[in-house]
Structure 1
Amino acid sequence: MKRTKEFIKRNIAGEIVLVPSGQTAREFNGMVTLTETGEFIWEHIEEAESFNHLVLLILEEYEVDKDTASQDAAGFIMQLLQAGMIRPTGINW
């Protein structure tokens, strides 16, 4: 996956948020609050070669079963895709 919008990750009052910058700030109204896992996915989404690779990274980082990791990652990725924040870079995505 490739990030398509300009967001700066910030810690605001103990919450991790993505704040739009540049042209994105004019197009995207608001901020995106991330959970711990959401932050992990955001940080690793460009390095993961496929969805399965991303799930493996999550499994290495957190004590969670594969089905839960897959479902949670798929849901978050769908939200990012729908918001136009990421785009697929290959057939494995």
Structure 2
Amino acid sequence: MKIKNGFVLRKFADRIVAVADDDMADYCNSFIKMNSTGEFVWNLLQNDVEYDFVINSLCNDEATARADFDEFLAKVRKAGLLDE
């Protein structure tokens, strides 16, 4: 899985958001707020990676990592930002 081309992270003060760049603005005008873990996962998803790679990159607590990553994926999928 990988983040679709045309979406980028932006930092505004203490907030991190994923937004469409100029080329994708007509496709999607929503944004996703995230914390530093979300930013870390977003950066991993800049490359085509497997689910288990992300889980193993997050921490040693696999159950927590899976729950947190599943929540993040649900938000990214709902916004239509993920190629799978």
TM-score scaled by structure 2?
A: 0.82
Which consecutive unaligned segments of at least 5 residues does structure 2 have?
Answer: none
Task: Tell me the distance in 1 between the aligned counterparts of 2:75 and 2:39.
Answer: 14
Task: Tell me the distance in 1 between the aligned counterparts of 2:16 and 2:52.
Answer: 25
Structure 1 residue 52 corresponds to structure 2 residue 52 = yes
Runs of 4+ in 1 over 2 A off after TM superposition: 46-49
Contact 1:48 1:54 in 2 (8 A): no
Q: 1:26–1:49: structure 2 CA closer, same or farther, 3 Å change rule?
A: closer
Task: Tell me the distance in 1 between the aligned counterparts of 2:41 and 2:16.
Answer: 13
Cα RMSD for the two superposed structures: 1.9
TM-score scaled by structure 1?
A: 0.75
Structure 1 residue 87 corresponds to structure 2 residue 83 = yes
Percent identity of paired positions between Structure 1 and Structure 2: 26
- Structure 2 letter corresponding to 1:27: Y
Q: Deviations over 1:56-80 (max 9, x none)?
A: 0111xxxx62101111101211221
How many angstroms does 1:55 deviate by? 0.3
Contact 1:5 1:86 in 2 (8 A): no
Count of equivalent residues: 84
Name 1:74's counterpart in structure 2. 70
